[in-house]
Structure 1
Amino acid sequence: MADVNLNRLGVFVTLVRAGSFTAAAQQLGSTKAMVSQHLAKLEEELGVQLVVRSTRRMSLTDAGERFHEDCARVLADAEAAIAQLGECRDTPMGSLRVAAAGDHGPSIVAPALADFAARFPQVKVELVTSDSVVDLIAERFDLSIRIGWLRDSSLRAAKLASFRQCLVASPAYVAKHGAPRVPEDLAAHAWIALTVLSSPTRWTFFSAGDEAEHTVQTRTVASANSTLGVHAFVAAGLGVSVLPDYLVDEDISAGRLVALLPRFRLPEGGVYAVYPGKQPPVKVRAFIDLLKERLAGSSG
């Protein structure tokens, strides 16, 4: 069977359906002699006569009839597989496995995945939250939603949105220790460090008017490896820290947190969809488009 040219199965099935070598050659865009040659080679490879030929007609042997039924089924299955592959190329389907951090995974990515699953019921969605940077290829993720600043990587990334970094403290902390007036004052305040950052204790602020840089080294009293952990420490009045706007805007509006140093700003961060490969599959492209749509709507 390793010596059988499977392309000749299609010639054989076409010959049987067409009923003659001449008609089969027309359907295949070939010649009568070429069709006859393919059949002879196939019979030689199989070691079985499939067709009885005469000057006026052709007929199948018993082996040829059984073999034609099997070949027709195999070719039909192949055509169906090719059609399904085309659907996979054009329509989101299968599974979509997404990694996201613990803060924005439940609040931002999970609702978007629910919307995506409703729009594309042929897709099974899975969200994995982790504050560590996952290996997309080794852990078989379709994409990761990352917050902040991307490191150099062979992965592809699409920017979805931006966010503000907010310096915050609890009202109780401000009442007890006062509010800093300039970034340099932060050196004397209790700092809550986010350890997953490349520089969790050294920060550079920019003046709103002249864009002058103000770099300060903070004094850590507690640390956490997630923004949710830092948020909990700050809300409890333990110290001051920087958190993303999507995590603290409601707290500031409700008075649960206080925004500090309003005349200074920190660099904006980005929300990115990161995926392996040059061309993401249609399910990944569709989810990225949906996330952009939702994030643009929430910021407008």
Structure 2
Amino acid sequence: MQRDVNLNRLAIFVALVRAGSFTAAAEQLGLTKAMVSQHLLKLERELGVTLIVRSTRRMALTEAGALFHADCLQLLEQAQAAIERIGDRRHTPAGTLRLTTSTDYGMAVLAPALADFHRLHPQLQVDLVINDQISDLIAERFDLAIRIGWLRDSSLRAARLGSFRQLTMAAPAYLAEHGLPRRPDELAAHRWIAMSALMTPLRWTFTRGSGSRHTVRMTQAMQANNAAAIRALVLSGAGVSVLPDYLVQEDIQAGRLQVLLAQYRLPEGGIYAVYPDPQPPAKVRAFIDFMRQRLAAR
């Protein structure tokens, strides 16, 4: 038959045996002698055995008490070790860092960053899941997600890591055939490759240094639901589109893509670490700090 035993009394029992008397145990535990005695009596009732025989002058463990004392010592040592291990995880990155992000950001930025992060923390294992859908961090047991753009309302915690610029891009071959747009309104006459995942993929507002705003409705030629796919279409000369700076820096430097309307700006997007734990472990805090520093140095 299963018994309900107050586990706190195990520690009092071990302290009593170690102290050798009710008076000494009471002093060490900060309790009264009567309270120590009551805890022992209740523990014996819960177990259904006598653990200690006592007289006015001395106390001694029964055979059952000696066996139970040995088991209690082992249990308390294991509990202390578990407390120390969880404390270590609070302060030292350990275990597996499981995180998720979008395909384009994962391939262009996060995978190289994780390689460098792992060199700093080789004791960590890393599990990166690339997915263009919004993952349920709790149900799928993710430590965090790196999300790009504008966050939806949620009960999750978020830390802003940095930002990215949105750039209007085209391939030189496309511009040679269709001409170079010099004002935002001229984009309406060009072949626009739309990001279907956006709420308004065909309407864009450009802001000049003077503060003047120009909203343009584009003419869609093609669409895709992934920034990496849109980049591939733009590179092939299929049309014009908006792409994040982190995805096209090498293309710009190599001359494969050209920034259009550089004197205008589109709204900047945010880069966020989103996580479910109100007290994130050391591995999550370390990665957030690492990414903040890395993005600030770009």
Deviation at 1:259, TM superposition (A): 1.3
2:165 is the counterpart of 1:176: no
In the other structure, the counterpart of 1:247 is 247
With normalisation by structure 2, the TM-score equals 0.94
Aligned partners of 1:282 and 1:222: how far apart in 2? 45
Instruction: Let me know the Cα RMSD of the aligned residues.
Output: 1.6
- The 1:50/1:90 distance shift into structure 2, 3 A limit, reads same
- Write out aligned runs for 1:229-244 (5 A): 229-244=229-244
- The 1:152/1:5 distance shift into structure 2, 3 A limit, reads closer
With normalisation by structure 1, the TM-score equals 0.93
- The 1:18/1:145 distance shift into structure 2, 3 A limit, reads same
- For the 8 Å contact 2:194–2:201, the answer to whether it is kept is yes
1:154-183, CA deviations, whole angstroms, 9 ceiling, x for partnerless residues?
A: 322211112111111111100001011111
Deviation at 1:247, TM superposition (A): 1.4
1:227-259, CA deviations, whole angstroms, 9 ceiling, x for partnerless residues?
A: 110000000001001111111122112111111
Aligned partners of 1:186 and 1:3: how far apart in 2? 75
Q: Which amino acid aligns with 1:133?
A: I
In the other structure, the counterpart of 1:83 is 84
In the other structure, the counterpart of 1:7 is 8
SS of corresponding position for 2:65: helix
2:164 is the counterpart of 1:155: no
Aligned partners of 1:283 and 1:119: how far apart in 2? 12
Deviation at 1:135, TM superposition (A): 2.1
In the other structure, the counterpart of 2:218 is 218
Aligned partners of 1:228 and 1:212: how far apart in 2? 31
2:275 is the counterpart of 1:295: no
SS of corresponding position for 2:23: helix
- The 1:232/1:71 distance shift into structure 2, 3 A limit, reads same
SS of corresponding position for 2:103: coil
In the other structure, the counterpart of 2:60 is 59
Q: Which amino acid aligns with 1:131?
A: D
Deviation at 1:64, TM superposition (A): 1.0
Deviation at 1:31, TM superposition (A): 2.4
Percent identity over paired residues: 62
- Write out aligned runs for 1:130-209 (5 A): 130-208=131-209
1:25-57, CA deviations, whole angstroms, 9 ceiling, x for partnerless residues?
A: 221122222222222222222221111212322
- The 1:65/1:258 distance shift into structure 2, 3 A limit, reads same
In the other structure, the counterpart of 2:31 is 30
SS of corresponding position for 1:103: helix
Higher mean C-alpha deviation, range 44-53 or range 161-170: 44-53
Deviation at 1:23, TM superposition (A): 1.7
SS of corresponding position for 1:286: helix
Q: Which amino acid aligns with 2:146?
A: I
Consecutive unaligned residues of structure 1, counting only runs of 5 or more, are: none
Aligned partners of 1:132 and 1:213: how far apart in 2? 32
Deviation at 1:277, TM superposition (A): 4.3
Higher mean C-alpha deviation, range 212-221 or range 151-160: 151-160
In the other structure, the counterpart of 2:258 is 258
Q: Which amino acid aligns with 1:119?
A: L
Aligned partners of 1:241 and 1:5: how far apart in 2? 67
How many equivalent pairs are there? 297
Aligned partners of 1:70 and 1:23: how far apart in 2? 22
- Write out aligned runs for 1:99-118 (5 A): 99-118=100-119
Deviation at 1:70, TM superposition (A): 0.8
SS of corresponding position for 1:259: strand
Aligned partners of 1:185 and 1:161: how far apart in 2? 32
Aligned partners of 1:106 and 1:36: how far apart in 2? 65
Aligned partners of 1:38 and 1:206: how far apart in 2? 74
1:181-204, CA deviations, whole angstroms, 9 ceiling, x for partnerless residues?
A: 111111110011111111111111
